[in-house]
Amino acid sequence: MQIDRNEFLKYLDEKMGVDTSEIEGDTALFSSGILDSFSMVDVVMFIEKSAQTKLRPGEVNLENLDSVDRIINFIETRQDD
């Protein structure tokens, strides 16, 4: 399972309207207000489709999803049941 960094940034730009020119890997997406809580559902759907997996409710949190690096690391190290 993996998420392509460039595809995710393209998604943020085209679908979420985020100017990704200043987004670094560790830029906080949700806690900084770049994305709001309503956007979390869309991001989770993108992750699930791209990584061909289903996230469990306990996995949908800022610790796992607040930056591009966190999302990629979470998906790469996650164990599917």
Query: What does the alpha-carbon distance between residue 36 and residue 76 come to, in Å, rounded to a whole number?
Result: 24
Query: How many structural domains compose the chain?
Result: 1
With pLDDT > 90 as the criterion, what percentage of the chain qualifies? 89
Instruction: Share the mean pLDDT of the chain.
Output: 93
Q: Which domain holds residue 59?
A: 5-77
Query: What does the alpha-carbon distance between residue 29 and residue 49 come to, in Å, rounded to a whole number?
Result: 20
Confidence of residue 64 (pLDDT cuts 50, 70, 90): very high
- The CATH number given to whatever domain includes residue 15 is 1.10.1200.10
Taking only the tens place, the pLDDT of each residue in 1-21 is 688 999 999 999 999 999 999
